[in-house]
Amino acid sequence: MNCLVSPQWLAARLQQPRHALHVLDASMVQVVGRVPLEYPQRQVIPGARWLGLEDYLTDHEASLPNTFPRPEQVTERLQQLGVNTGDTIVLYDNQGIYSAPRAWVILKAMGVEQVYFLNGGLPQWLADGLPWATDYLPLPESRGDVIAQRQPDWLVDAQHVLAASQQQQALIVDARGAARFLGQQPEPREGMRSGHIPTAVNLPFQEVLTEHGFRSAEQLAEQFNQLGATQDTPLITSCGSGITACVLLVAAHLAGYQQVKLYDGSWAEWGADPQLPIATGE
């Protein structure tokens, strides 16, 4: 599954009739797990609109942070953005590879087919010397007609993860940094236990990336292989609150893995529930 497009591909497409191409900025205001890139002024890809991942594609009625949105939320936002069924969507974020994979997973899990994201994001676009603007396009006058419908086999809940851990039915891969995974560093959320899900392995999300975007499919496959995964191994990705786990989910897809699911609650749910077991150390 190749969900990536290059800056050169997107730049060429932007010179063509664009009625069926939507460039959406999926950046997040809050960046956790890495030092955020900062910009002296707003820089956006010409013709892009603001997706509003935190405002519009998060279920604010849920008790956990960054919870997967409801289908009606996705439908409403995409229709506001003028997206019609069958249109092509290209996502990007201003951190390179951080939150655009989350937006990609959300849209794919809601049945949107033609959705991709920019490898290397805005930093690579700018590094390639491509033009930029200071403002987003406003919302179009006409609404789109796309309808979001939740698809099976993208998400798992805590009970599924618990069973997978106890029965070793899947390899649980944690995208957090090593110190948090090992329980050596306090969690950023107050009152949260430190450690990891028993039997989980650690692959910090930055390790599947280079300064230009994702590593090659061969390199990614080798990284997962070193964790003990074969191409037939079911994978579950987790992190702090479901954002960077999506980076690993995409990396696994790029490496050829077919059975990859997201634990959306991630450590925000697991670490807060005293009834769920934790492990520390190696």
- Enzyme catalytic residues: 239
* DSSP states of 27-48: --S---SSPPP--SS--B-TTE
Asked if 24 contacts 90 with a C-beta cutoff of 8 angstroms, the reply is yes
Structure token pair of residue 153: 């086999």
Asked if 230 contacts 170 with a C-beta cutoff of 8 angstroms, the reply is no
- Cα separation, 148 vs 225, whole angstroms: 34
Structure token pair of residue 265: 């609650």
Question: Hey, which residues does 210 pair with through a beta bridge?
Answer: 213
- Residue in this structure with the two tokens 């797990």, named with its chain if needed: 33
Question: Hey, which residues does 23 pair with through a beta bridge?
Answer: 48, 90
- Cα separation, 60 vs 54, whole angstroms: 9
DSSP secondary-structure letter at 183? T
DSSP secondary-structure letter at 85? T
Q: Which residues contact 251 (CB under 8 A, 6 or more apart)?
A: 208, 214, 215, 220, 223, 224
- Burial (CB < 10 A; 0-12, 13-18, 19+), residue 115, is buried
Burial call 53-62: b when 16+ CB within 10 Å, e when fewer: bbebbbeeee
